Amino acid sequence: MKKNICHSLILLLLVSIGSLTAQNGSLATRQSIARFLNSHVSGELAIGKITVDSLTILDKAKKVRVVASVNCSYIPFTQQRVLVVYDSIRNILPSSYASYKVELVTDNQPIENLVTGQSRKYTFRNKVDKPLVTALSKPFKAEKGLRNKHIALWQSHGFYFEQKLNRWEWQRARIFQTVEDLYTQSYVLPFLVPMLENAGANVLLPRERDTQTLEVIVDNDKATHPSVYKEIQGDKPWSVGFGKGFAMLKDQYIETENPFQDGTFRQTVTRKKGKESLAEWIPSLSKAGKYAVYVSYKTLPESTEDALYTVYHKGGKSQFRVNQQMGGGTWIYLGHFMFDQGMNESCKVQLSNLSSKNNRIITADGVKIGGGYGTIARKVNNSGIVSENTKSSDNSGPKVLQSQLSIPYQYEVSGYPRFTEGARYWLQYAGFPDTVYTQSKGVNDYTDDYKSRGVWVNYLSGGSSVAPKEKGLNIPVDLAFAFHTDAGTTLNDSIIGTLGIFFTKEGDETFGNKASRYVSRDLTDLIQTEIVKDIRSLYEPAWSRRGMWNQSYFEARTPRVPTMLLELLSHQNFADMRYGLDPRFRFTVSRAIYKGMLKFIALQYNQPFVVQPLPVDHFSVRFTGAEEVELGWQAVRDSLEPTAVANKYILYTRKGDADFDNGVVVTSNKIRLHQEPGIIYSYKV
């Protein structure tokens, strides 16, 4: 008996030694696999050296598991690439394992799970019948674009109040003719947002989007003098709504004051036919120009989903259906429009109670025209004043000096246009709860600013199919995107390039609609791939594609929708900014981001997509008669995107000193038009 036990112990020891050897694998084999992985991406990716941490032989399962360092996960895996990698590793292994299955794990995932576009159990889809805003006057519907989708994005930092220095300042250094707080806006506002909107998306920003320094408020409580709010009573008259609404009663707002809690709103019921009731907001503008138009309203249990707004402007009129079942209690953007100086009936915003359904509630509150200057006033919060060299006894944080508490600090506004300010201030002005824009409870505006953006996304989507049990604006956000350009510096004047950041390791690694948080990696991969491909093709073949970091950055971690944090380049690095200051480069990058978002949405909804064609060229005009002209142009082939083929065009016309109209669809690349004598005509395609 003892002899048998002894033999069993020896056998068990031998098995254990064999298992340990198999688990560690051959050092030479691991090094060979690492050399292959590094050479496989050499010249394509700038992701650092990949190492193989372990190699385990699982004889019972007939599997070889290879675990590589996390930067192996930065590789943009495709199904074809996975096959190549596994075949190559199998060839490196001893021939005795030729029939074994190979599994390469990185960032705790087999690489086949990292394939962008692979079939996941749940994709990120929102259930919405009608979007927040529908532009009725557009002459086309982007059926294969981003129609009815909602995208939340933001352009990095902004001017902010630094409590430690008791002053307003930029969050980033001024260098190479710009500062990141403004630089990212030169992509987002003129290029990216219009591209997404032209493709049919509702784009939501946590910062002011209008660079106009003039702002006019027209409201039922108080209007910027002498602007006018008026009502035209129909079969169903307007009355005072029950609850709080917007009112601009102050020149400055301090602490957590909320202008959307200072006033009242108006309401009536909808009618399918009959005499309509109208609310009108007629602004008085001190100068003519192009202005953003925002509307506000109250969302109630019986709110209509198709409130009809009409904007009268120098180009005619543009109509919108606004779903008042979502977005109540903040500023909802309709568009930019040209307005004349002064006050007249041809430049106004009108709301009708005519609807597709009877007896739904329609509400009317304030209208905001233009961007204006910041009105959020800040001062040092005494609880946040600290001495750099003094800490509390338990090291839990800085200690407040008693002498500093007695300084009579005064509230002050930034003195800068509102569009330059950080998200923290716009979100207060736009009526969001203080739990959204000041996590620090007023102590630290710097951290409040970057934290507010992710929390804002969740408040937007609260109550929708994304987060049905949470409080919010009921807007079904499809994705979120943070645009940054703070990727570091180099000593040898080499390009730093493009970095993407996402985060999956939150909770059970799923979103509220059961979709895997790894769809954020898909979003990151698609956008980063488009950016790097287009820059390399058109500008710099050596442009660096850096990692796809699965790391816990607040802006990547917090939103409960698919989110990418982009570090496009380094605004501090000359080699990057040689290109970054070129508006054509900014157009290309913005178009690449739009294409990545479009392809991501198409992937989630399993639908075909078409990329907007490039702008036409060779635009010409010739007179074919005393009162007739022929316009002609040529489509531009997009060598980077096969779907971007023009088969129809939109022609916009401007007469005299008016503005361009809403456009008409033209099926050919030429058209003949009648012109009235004595009028200057302008056209764009």
pLDDT in tens, 238-282: 999 999 999 999 999 999 999 999 999 999 999 999 999 999 999
Cα atoms found within 13 Å of the Cα of residue 165, Cβ hemisphere only: 9
Q: Is the pLDDT of residue 10 over 90?
A: no
Q: Which of the 8 DSSP states describes residue 678? A: T
Buried b (16+ CB within 10 A) or exposed e, 113-141: bbbbeeeeeebbebebeebbbbbebbeee
pLDDT of residue 6: 43
Residue 2 vs residues 5, 6, 13: alpha-carbon distances, Å:
5, 6, 17
In the chain, residues under CATH classification 2.60.120.260 are 215-370
Average pLDDT, the chain: 92
Phi and psi torsions of 71, nearest 5°: -70, -10
- Say which CATH topology domain 11-114 has: GMP Synthetase; Chain A, domain 3 (3.30.300)
Residue 250: strand, helix, or coil: coil
pLDDT of residue 25: 60
Q: Which residue is it, tokens 């690095």?
A: 573
pLDDT of residue 117: 82
Q: Which residue would you say has higher pLDDT here, 385 or 9?
A: 385
pLDDT of residue 406: 67
Beta bridge partners of 307: 322
Q: Which residue would you say has higher pLDDT here, 488 or 232?
A: 232
State the CB neighbour count (10 A cutoff) for residue 647.
Answer: 9
**Is 351 in contact with 278 (CB distance < 8 Å)?**
yes
**Is 115 in contact with 75 (CB distance < 8 Å)?**
no
Q: Which of these, 312, 297, 318, lies nearest to 364 by C-alpha position?
A: 297
pLDDT of residue 405: 56
Q: Is the pLDDT of residue 5 over 50?
A: no
Phi and psi torsions of 519, nearest 5°: -65, -20
pLDDT of residue 540: 97
pLDDT of residue 368: 98
pLDDT tens string 553-582: 999 999 999 999 999 999 999 999 999 999
Task: Name the token pair of 491.
Answer: 């000593």
Report how far apart the first and last C-alpha atoms of the chain are (Å, whole number).
95
Class of domain 140-208+442-605: alpha beta
Chain centroid to CA 328:
20
Class of domain 215-370: mainly beta
Q: Which residue is it, tokens 């109630």?
A: 300
| Neighbouring residues of 612: CB distance < 8 A, sequence distance ≥ 6 | 145, 195, 198, 199, 594, 644
pLDDT of residue 490: 83
In the predicted model, what is the mean pLDDT of residues 502-513? Answer: 92
pLDDT of residue 398: 45
DSSP output for 299-364: --TTB-S-EEEEEEETTEEEEEEE-TTS-TTS-EEEEEEEE-SB--TTSEEEEE-B-SSSS-EEEE
Task: Name the token pair of 392.
Answer: 């509390």
Least confident of 13-27, 345-359, 377-391, 491-505: 13-27
pLDDT tens string 465-489: 988 889 999 999 999 999 999 877 8
Most distant pair of Cα atoms in the chain: their distance:
118
pLDDT of residue 127: 84
Radius of gyration (C-alpha) of the chain in whole angstroms: 29
**Is the Cα torsion angle 94, 99, 105, 108 positive or negative in sign?**
negative
Q: Is the pLDDT of residue 390 over 60?
A: no
Q: Which residue would you say has higher pLDDT here, 58 or 13?
A: 58
In the chain, residues under CATH classification 2.60.40.10 are 617-684
Task: Name the token pair of 586.
Answer: 């900014």
Q: Which of these, 496, 574, 588, lies nearest to 539 by C-alpha position?
A: 588
Beta bridge partners of 343: none
pLDDT of residue 491: 83
In the chain, residues under CATH classification 3.40.630.40 are 140-208+442-605
This prediction's pTM: 0.93
In the chain, residues under CATH classification 3.30.300 are 11-114
Class of domain 617-684: mainly beta
Task: Name the token pair of 219.
Answer: 């409201």
Task: Give the H/E segment covering residue 536.
Answer: helix 519-538
State the CB neighbour count (10 A cutoff) for residue 471.
Answer: 12
Cis omega before residue 206 (within 30°)?
A: no
pLDDT tens string 286-307: 999 999 999 999 999 999 999 9
Q: Which residue is it, tokens 């916009």?
A: 652
For residues 469 and 455, give the distance between their C-alpha atoms in angstroms, rounded to a whole number.
16
Q: Which residue would you say has higher pLDDT here, 391 or 602?
A: 602
For residues 188 and 191, give the distance between their C-alpha atoms in angstroms, rounded to a whole number.
6
- How large a percentage of the chain has pLDDT more than 70? 93
Task: Name the token pair of 146.
Answer: 């981003």
Q: In what order do the strands lie in the sheet with 150-154?
A: 202-204, 150-154, 479-484, 563-567, 498-502, 545-550
Residue 46: strand, helix, or coil: coil
Q: Is the pLDDT of residue 9 over 80?
A: no
For residues 163 and 364, give the distance between their C-alpha atoms in angstroms, rounded to a whole number.
38
Length of the chain as a residue count: 685
